[in-house]
Structure 1
Amino acid sequence: MTIAGIDLNMLANAGFPLASFEPGEVVFAEGDKGDKMYVVRSGEIDIERDGVVAETLSAGGIFGEMALIDGSPRSATARAKTACEVAPINEKSFLFLVHETPFFAIAVMRTLAERLRRSVPRG
């Protein structure tokens, strides 16, 4: 299955298995140490800031990328809205993916740019 420019089966076969979450289960909480990003394989994930859902992601969506890239604490909480399966991507698997699938890096940068544009007040 190819999502966000990557083959999730290739990732699992390289020793980076998928993770499952039940509805309401927290993937990570605001303030947690960030050492992974995630790609949604199935289901939906809510991204919450101050207890308010800011975004809902479905298959192909990525989240947690800022903390992986800069090592800062999580700026939001990610919670399973439905039963879901995600691919956790740590720095080692991120570098593997960028090497094997260069488009993956572009997909991550586009997501970061889109979220940054949405967060900047217009005026």
Structure 2
Amino acid sequence: MLLLGERPAYVDQLTDRLKKLATKLFEDLPKGEAITLKGTNDLYSLESSENLFIVQYGNLSGYHQDQLALYYEAGDLIGLTECYQLPSLRVAVEDHADVVQYSANTILRYVNETKERQAIWNSYLITLMTIFQDAFGRNHLSSTQPSTGFLNFEPGQVIINQGDDAHDVFTILQGKADVFVDEVKVGEVLTDEIFGAMAVFTGEQRSATVKAVEHCTVLAVPQEEFITLIKSHPQTTMTLIENMARQIKALNSQIQ
């Protein structure tokens, strides 16, 4: 999972530990039912609290009192607090998500079958609790920007407009878009590419218009959140540099 907001390095170490524990814990888990969840603002308003889900692919978010708190990632287990009927984050599914579904009883029986699994399970739960305890202890949720989130665009719709003020950085999670300067196409933005960062960093107005070519799911991240993200996830910086290099190369080819 990816928690939003500024956080110390040890929190990322905890989330990495959680991933490793989950991988080890569920490596022998019997095959569950692979399903695709439809887009919804509240997963458990549609699903039984007796169902648990292991994320395979897709955009799922956790909300606390309508405030975006985290993004779920592949390998994350969703639904533990629901199955125990405890206060829970509201889980939203953007567009669709591929998951493996299990009954809560199946998971709980499995993790208690051997002492080794019980030990890993206890470590998993303690690590998960520590992550959330730390987030709440640092008032993480109160500082999360509510404007961060997923946006949908149909073919031809403008994602960003040349000349507008820049406040957000964007990533296309699904689909592709074309880039125009003075109504002349100068490039394209593909899935997983970051765009709109230059104007945010320089404080200038948008230098280009970006239009969806096909249905696009876009993640919008406010400037402050994006700066926090590149500080805590160096790979994001590398992706940004690669995207910019590709765009510069495309512009050079247009000039030649």
Return the TM-score normalized by structure 2: 0.40
3-state SS of 1:18 partner: strand
Q: Which has the higher contact order (CA 8 A, sep 6+)?
A: 1
Matched, 1:76 2:208: yes
User: Which position in structure 2 is the counterpart of 1:108?
Assistant: 240
Change (3 A) 1:58 1:113: closer
3-state SS of 1:31 partner: coil
**Shift of residue 21, structure 1, vs aligned partner:** 0.9
The answer to whether the 8 Å contact 1:18/1:86 transfers is yes
1-structure distance, mates of 2:169, 2:213:
18
The answer to whether the 8 Å contact 2:150/2:218 transfers is yes
Number of equivalences: 116
User: Which position in structure 2 is the counterpart of 1:36?
Assistant: 168
Percent identity, aligned pairs only, is 24
Q: Which moved more, 1:108-117 or 1:21-30?
A: 108-117
1:98 to 230, 238, 241: 230
1-structure distance, mates of 2:248, 2:176:
22
User: Which position in structure 2 is the counterpart of 1:26?
Assistant: 158
The answer to whether the 8 Å contact 1:68/1:90 transfers is no
**Shift of residue 118, structure 1, vs aligned partner:** 4.2
1:58 to 175, 190, 193: 190
**Shift of residue 115, structure 1, vs aligned partner:** 2.7
The CA deviation string for residues 42-83 of structure 1, in whole angstroms up to 9 with x for no partner, is 111111112122222221122111111111111110111111
2-structure distance, mates of 1:85, 1:42:
5
2-structure distance, mates of 1:9, 1:100:
21
Change (3 A) 1:75 1:111: same
2-structure distance, mates of 1:25, 1:106:
29
Amino acid at match of 1:75: S
| CA-based RMSD | 2.5
Provide runs of 4+ in structure 1 moved above 6 Å. none
3-state SS of 1:53 partner: strand
The answer to whether the 8 Å contact 1:49/1:75 transfers is yes
Superposed counterparts of 1:6-21, under 5 Å? 13=70, 16-21=148-153
Consecutive unaligned residues of structure 1, counting only runs of 5 or more, are 1-7
Change (3 A) 1:59 1:115: closer
1-structure distance, mates of 2:185, 2:249:
18
Considering fraction of residues, name the structure with more helix: 2
The answer to whether the 8 Å contact 2:149/2:221 transfers is no
